Structure 1
Amino acid sequence: MEVSVIRSCSQATNPKTELGFSDSRFSFGKFNEKLFSRKPNSVSFESPLRRGKSGLRITAQAAQSDRLPKSKSSTKSKTLNRIRLFAGLPLDVVSGGTVNQFRAISAGLKALKLLGLEGVELPIWWGVVEHESMGKYNWSGYLTIAEMVRKAGLKLNVTLCFHASSQPKIPLPEWVLDIGKTKSNIFFKDRAGKPYRGCLSLAVDELAVLNGKTPMEVYQNFCESFKSAFSAFIGSTITGITMGLGPDGELRYPSHRGFAKSDTVPGAGEFQCYDKNMLHLLKQHAEACGKPKWGLGGPHNAPAY
């Protein structure tokens, strides 16, 4: 598990107090000052903290925190900062409707509670939940995680991921990829016409390309099913919901198809705007602004990979 500390340091305080644990609460052993370093506006551990097979790792960085009101009984003017810590669960914590490494996750949640964390971040993948066919949702593994988090006394922030992951490998739903085999223009394409299968092209958002439905309709149905399935947790255990669209969950255009055999991507990338739907939108907008020649094709002098 990865833990990120989000805070702003307006005042210097004791590191043990900042992170909300002392020797009495830190159950992984005696506090080791050598593991801990502190710089202006940052808090960090020099090496991982581990216990058994749970593989708990803690990293820290500076960001904004919530500020608690001043105590009326205090004789001095002091401002206390409270840090809300959320640990990121593994991206592939759920697969095939089951929780991977159930015992390790369970032990990790208990450890995070002892450390004083607020909760955990859970990625929920479109390709896992709606894997086999459109409208057939399997929430069982993620519901198990939500119940584990509630029993541990933690909060849960959820991210709905409508994109694919390369590492670990979590593709789009199988039925979507099957459609893409005959209708490859549902994906972004580079100049050579090779598709990017990490997400659907933004140009098809309102087109009925998914068995008679638009991607926006499919996303909406997915979200409604999520709301129904997790109604017992929303507002209590689940305190935050984020939606990820586009490559790697970011609302942007891709610049690479993905290079599975290499850890590095050569060059700055290439425009992925050559699927017929994106080119059609380009043509429409070029004509609308009185520059029809601009809509004849993608950039002709842009760099390649």
Structure 2
Amino acid sequence: MQTADSLADKEKMLANYVPVFVMLPLDVVSVSNVLEKQEELRRQLRQLRAADVDGVMVDVWWGIVEAEGAKCYDWSAYRELFHMVEEEGLKLQAIMSFHQCGGNIGDAVDIPLPRWVRDVGESDPDIYYTNRSGTRNREYLTIGVDDQPIFDGRTAVELYSDFMKSFRANMADFLDAGIITDIEVGLGPAGELRYPSYPEAQGWVFPGIGEFQCYDKYMKEEFKEDATMAGHPEWDLPDDAGEYNDKPTKTKFFAAKNGTYLTEKGSFFLTWYSNKLLMHGDQILDAANEAFLGCKLKLAAKVSGIHWWYKDDNHAAELTAGYYNLNDRDGYRTIARMLARHDAILNFTCVEMRNSEQIRRAKSGPEELVRQCSMEGGDRSGMRKCS
């Protein structure tokens, strides 16, 4: 017979219990939309269950499911996978992966955006993020086309929304049974709410400051309209912020004294740039809440832990990624508030890092960054590690 004390201890243990989910390989469903190596996968799932793991996390790739044409969704391989996970007594966290796989840290396979989307990009390359020199980044569609009906009459946000609605309709049995417990919504390159400011595929090397990614025609037009409305039609996008592998001191924009980022013009741009990112996340999470209305699950979004140059006054690498964070300005509070509005968890990518592991010249501060974000995320949206 259990005593009151033992029951209280059990309840306390359950209250502090942290579910453990293991990430499946990026290509567990192949680029040709086939669930391969099924016997090996089942054996691995059984090993996880035997180790008391709660479940698995899997990328659901836009470039695989909707590869054959607009609104031509093929969920068959993912249904096979989900059935196998269910049969082995595990839960699922599904990632709505609207980005390309390949070209980022840890990417061992290549899964491009759907062919029909890339066809639009052949005639209109401004659908992709673009740096000041005109180099396109094909990992993810630019925020500039979020509301542009250029995909056979649909906007980019509508593409993401329709994909999630189709997932809901085709995975209703797993959702209703509680097999799928979380949906992480991809909001940018590597699935993260950020600009692709530090692409290894374009030659970026740690700890380069990265580059602003707002020089496609759509974002340039939006900036000019917004600057004109603010009474400064003469303002243009930055031309003094350096290149991917520069140090802050090599640029005028991030200069310690009289840097552009400290001026009225610089502040206007950085506010505009970061607000565009927030509005992007807000719109897609709105669509996710609509798509999964009534489902017993948690939404989540991933934020990148950009720790290099954190201890420099300019926080250059964070600024180019879209996080307007300075010593006297909290750039993560607005993100946490936005996620909290959607009751979404903040997944953060550098929780396990230590300052002592970083090279001194990078002026990294992962411990301080995590502490800052945990204060915001923990209070508002919830926060968990996502390495």
Same-fold call, TM > 0.5?
yes
What is the aligned residue count?
233
Q: Distance in 2 between matches of 1:209 and 1:230?
A: 29
SS at match of 1:106: helix
Q: Distance in 2 between matches of 1:181 and 1:141?
A: 29
Partner of 1:156: 92
Cα shift at 1:170: 1.1
Partner of 2:39: 103
Q: Is the contact made by 1:186 and 1:209 (CA closer than 8 Å) also made in structure 2? A: no
**2:126 matched to 1:185?**
yes
Partner of 1:241: 183
Within 5 Å, which residues of 2 pair with 1:84-99?
A: 84-95=19-30, 96-99=32-35
Within 5 Å, which residues of 2 pair with 1:1-305?
A: 72-74=4-6, 79-80=12-13, 81-95=16-30, 96-166=32-102, 167=107, 168-235=109-176, 236-259=178-201, 264=205, 267-294=208-235, 297-305=236-244
Q: Distance in 2 between matches of 1:195 and 1:84?
A: 39
SS at match of 2:119: helix
Q: Return the letter of the residue paired with 2:20.
A: L
TM superposition score normalised by structure 2: 0.57
SS at match of 1:112: helix
Q: Is the contact made by 2:120 and 2:151 (CA closer than 8 Å) also made in structure 1? A: yes
RMSD over aligned Cα, in angstroms?
Answer: 2.1
Q: Return the letter of the residue paired with 2:168.
A: K
Q: Distance in 1 between matches of 2:197 and 2:212?
A: 6
Q: Return the letter of the residue paired with 2:25.
A: P
| Unmatched 5+ stretches in structure 1 | 1-69
Residues 165-192 of structure 1, C-alpha deviation per residue, up to 9 Å, x if partnerless?
A: 1122111111111110110011111112
Q: Distance in 2 between matches of 1:111 and 1:234?
A: 24
SS at match of 1:98: coil
Q: Distance in 1 between matches of 2:7 and 2:73?
A: 57
Q: Distance in 2 between matches of 1:136 and 1:278?
A: 29
Partner of 1:47: none
TM superposition score normalised by structure 1: 0.72
SS at match of 1:233: helix
Q: Distance in 2 between matches of 1:192 and 1:71?
A: 70
Mark the structure with the bigger radius of gyration: 1
Structure 1 residues 107 and 274, CA gap change in structure 2 (3 angstroms): same
Q: Distance in 1 between matches of 2:207 and 2:138?
A: 19
Cα shift at 1:250: 1.1
Q: Distance in 2 between matches of 1:98 and 1:190?
A: 36
Structure 1 residues 288 and 102, CA gap change in structure 2 (3 angstroms): same
Q: Is the contact made by 1:165 and 1:198 (CA closer than 8 Å) also made in structure 2? A: yes
SS at match of 1:94: coil
Structure 1 residues 109 and 288, CA gap change in structure 2 (3 angstroms): same
Partner of 1:5: none
Q: Is the contact made by 1:246 and 1:252 (CA closer than 8 Å) also made in structure 2? A: yes
- Greater share of residues in helix: 2
Q: Is the contact made by 1:119 and 1:157 (CA closer than 8 Å) also made in structure 2? A: yes
Structure 1 residues 191 and 100, CA gap change in structure 2 (3 angstroms): same
Q: Distance in 1 between matches of 2:8 and 2:220?
A: 65
Q: Distance in 1 between matches of 2:207 and 2:166?
A: 40
% same residue:
38
